Structures are given as C-alpha cells and as structure tokens.
C-alpha cells in the first residue's frame, strides 16, 4: 500500500492542527502540505515542509526588506529575467522537503542529483516491507536498438507474461529468503545489514529529500523530460504539479525557458542566420556532426 494507516493518521492529525505563522506562506502549497500523491503501484510523494514563494525570489534578487513594493507584474518580469539569464542564486532561497516512497533502482538514479539533503530508510536498522514495483504490462519494452539507455518496442503476449512472472517470482523468492535469514527459528538470525543484500532492486524504499528550487528545477528539467526513464519521470511529473502551485511565476518561467526552450551552440546560431538569409544549409556545410545536426533540425523543425 502507498500509505500505511499510521502514516495516514499522522497526516490527518497534522492537517487538523494548523498553526499561525509570521513567515511567508504560499497558498497554493498549503493545499499540498502532508497530502500523499500516489506514484507507480506502491509509491508516493508528499510535501513535508517548504520555505519561500515567488516573492522570496524577487526579494533576494533585490536584497530588499519585507515583502517589497513592486507589483506582481514586475515580480513576474524579474523572475523571467532571472531565469532567462541563468541567475540561479535567488531561486536557491526557496526550499522544499519531500517524503518519497520509491523503488530502489529509481532511488539509485535519483541520488545522482547530489545537491540535496537526503535521509533514507535504513535496512541496517529496520526491516523493509514486502512491496515491489511490478510494471504494468504496457510498460514492458525491449531494449532500444538506437539508444543504449532506453526502451524500444513494447513486449506483448507470451513474452510479456513470461517477464512479469519472472519479476514477481524472483522478487517473492528473494524476500522469502531475506525474511528467513533475519529470523531463523531457534537461532539469532543473520544481521539485517547483511541480509538486505539479497533483496531485489525493485523493492521499495523511502526517504526525506530536501532541495532548493534552483536544483529542483535542474532535477525536473532532466527527469520530467519525455526521454527520461518512465519510472522516475512519473515522480518528476507529480512534483511538477506541486511546484506549479507553490511558485507559479517561477514555474511558468521554468516551463518556458527550460522545458520548452532550447540551447543553441555558436554553430547552430550561425546556421539559423544563414537560413534566415535564404541560404541553403546542409549538415555537410553546417560544421556540425551528424548528431548535432539531427538535434538542431529537431529544434527548428
């Protein structure tokens, strides 16, 4: 189950006991506090805490006191300027703390984003739950023949059924042996820190993940992209919905300049100028490699 009864009771108690505060409050984020949003078959994300809002970004950029005297329109324009010119420090003034439940193999990708604070559920101290990520049949795919780290055509029929049986059976057997090793009847049992090495990478773990908005945007730009692995992309997409309500002006600029924009090299800009002047430009005359040219043509259509 994504949320345990104890966790739900804690959430209900926290939401039923609001407290007054003098700090900046983002009304959009307040609606998300503590709520758990399901991801995959047993995972979730939930906001534990946050700091700052759109105004905090502008306040830091202007180094002013209080909430400032500029209009909302001016604030949005400033935020877009900061995003456009890669002025990252003001965005670092906002932070978010998430509680995430995710498969171990997704966590190993996620942890590559090192500019965050993480505290993970300890399998040295506690016993992991018997919960595994099993893909939906439509999410099973063969290895891509053109991308060494991507998926190709979907599996179907007997092949998909066979793979699902392997995933379910292997996970169950590994967990059975794990449980047996740590609680041998009449014996002390193997240390948890050793028994855990027998667990599969699709077992679920949990962590608290705290990150500033600048580095969160970097995470989302890579992991909410259509080319990202599905199992981490769905977490990023759920976080995007929360961030859009938390800092709408900043998220709008992020969508425009990072998710919807593109960075062009000097050669690419030169080609654009040549094309606009009416010159016929090919990959051979562009000065770009085949890969660069393919990506360039993907940008300009």
Tens-digit pLDDT profile for residues 196-213: 999 999 999 999 999 999
CB atoms within 10 A of CB 197: 8
Say whether both 20 and 98 belong to one domain: yes
Say whether both 165 and 115 belong to one domain: no
Give 36-50 pLDDT, tens digit per residue: 999 999 999 999 999
Say whether both 287 and 271 belong to one domain: yes
Say whether both 129 and 208 belong to one domain: yes
Say whether both 156 and 274 belong to one domain: no
pLDDT score of 114: 93
Catalytic residue among 15, 80, 108, 223, which? 223
Q: Is 130 a catalytic residue?
A: no
Domain hosting 186: range is 136-200
Say whether both 225 and 282 belong to one domain: no
Say whether both 32 and 166 belong to one domain: no
Measured CA to CA, the distance from residue 196 to residue 174 in angstroms comes to 10
pTM attached to this predicted model:
0.90
3-class DSSP state of 203: strand
pLDDT score of 64: 58
Measured CA to CA, the distance from residue 133 to residue 277 in angstroms comes to 54
Say whether both 12 and 69 belong to one domain: yes
Say whether both 119 and 221 belong to one domain: yes
Say whether both 77 and 186 belong to one domain: no
Measured CA to CA, the distance from residue 264 to residue 275 in angstroms comes to 15
pLDDT in tens, the chain (301 residues): 678 888 888 888 888 888 888 888 999 999 999 899 999 999 999 999 999 999 999 999 988 555 555 666 689 999 999 999 999 999 999 999 999 999 999 999 999 999 999 999 999 999 999 999 999 999 998 887 777 777 888 888 899 999 999 999 999 999 999 999 998 665 778 999 999 999 999 999 999 999 999 999 999 999 999 989 999 999 999 999 999 999 999 999 999 999 999 999 999 999 999 999 999 999 999 999 999 999 999 999 8
């Amino acid at each position: 189950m994504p949320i345990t009864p104890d966790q739900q009771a804690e959430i209900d108690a926290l939401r039923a006991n609001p407290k007054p505060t003098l700090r900046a409050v983002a009304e959009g984020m307040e609606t998300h506090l503590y709520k758990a949003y399901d991801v995959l078959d047993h995972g979730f994300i939930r906001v534990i805490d946050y700091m700052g809002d759109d105004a905090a970004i502008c306040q830091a950029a202007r180094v002013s006191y209080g909430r400032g005297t500029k209009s909302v329109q001016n604030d949005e324009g400033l935020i877009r300027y900061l995003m456009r010119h890669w002025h990252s420090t003001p965005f670092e003034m906002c932070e978010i703390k998430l509680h995430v439940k995710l498969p171990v193999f997704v966590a190993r990708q996620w942890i590559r984003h090192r500019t965050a604070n993480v505290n993970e559920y300890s399998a040295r101290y506690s016993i992991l739950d018997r919960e595994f990520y099993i893909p939906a049949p439509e999410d099973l795919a063969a290895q891509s023949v053109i991308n060494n780290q991507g998926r190709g055509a979907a599996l179907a029929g007997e092949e998909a059924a066979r793979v699902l049986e392997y995933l379910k059976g292997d996970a169950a057997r590994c967990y059975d042996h794990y449980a047996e090793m740590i609680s041998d009847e009449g014996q002390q049992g193997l240390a948890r820190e050793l028994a855990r090495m027998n667990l599969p990478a699709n077992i679920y773990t949990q962590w608290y993940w705290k990150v500033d908005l600048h580095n969160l945007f970097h995470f989302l730009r890579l992991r909410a992209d259509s080319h990202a692995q599905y199992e981490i992309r769905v977490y990023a997409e759920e976080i995007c919905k929360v961030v859009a309500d938390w800092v709408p002006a900043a998220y709008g600029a992020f969508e425009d300049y990072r998710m919807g924009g593109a960075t062009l090299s000097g050669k690419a800009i030169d080609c654009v100028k040549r094309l606009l002047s009416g010159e016929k430009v090919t990959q051979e005359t562009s000065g770009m490699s085949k890969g660069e040219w393919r990506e360039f043509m993907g940008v300009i259509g």
